[in-house]
Structure 1
Amino acid sequence: MTGSDAGLDTKVDEIADGVYRFSTWIAGITENGFTFNQFLLTGEEPFLFHCGQRFLFPQVAGAIARVVPMESLRWISFGHVEADECGAMNLLLDAAPDAQVVHGALACMLSLNDMCDRPPVAAGDDTLDVGGHRLRFIATPHVPHNWEAGLWFDETTSTLLAGDLFTHVGRCPAITDTDVVEPALAAEGFFHATGLTASLAPTLEQLAALNPTTLAIMHGASYSGDGAAQLRALSDGYSAMAGASLP
Structure 2
Amino acid sequence: MKVSAEVRAFESRLGHRFTRPELLSRALTHPSIATETRPSNQRMEFLGDRVLNLVMAEALYTADRYADEGQLAPRYNVLVRKETCADVARDIDLGAVLRLGRSEMMTGGRRKQALLGDAMEAVIAALYLDAGLDIAREIILRLWGERIDTAEARARDAKTALQEWAQGRGMAPPRYVETGRSGPDHAPVFTISARLDNGAEASASANSKRQAEQAAAADLLARLESST
Do Structure 1 and Structure 2 share a fold, with TM-score over 0.5? no
Structure that is richer in strand per residue: 1
Which has the larger Rg? 2
Structure number with the bigger relative contact order (C-alpha 8 A, sep ≥ 6) is 2
Normalised TM-score (structure 1): 0.25
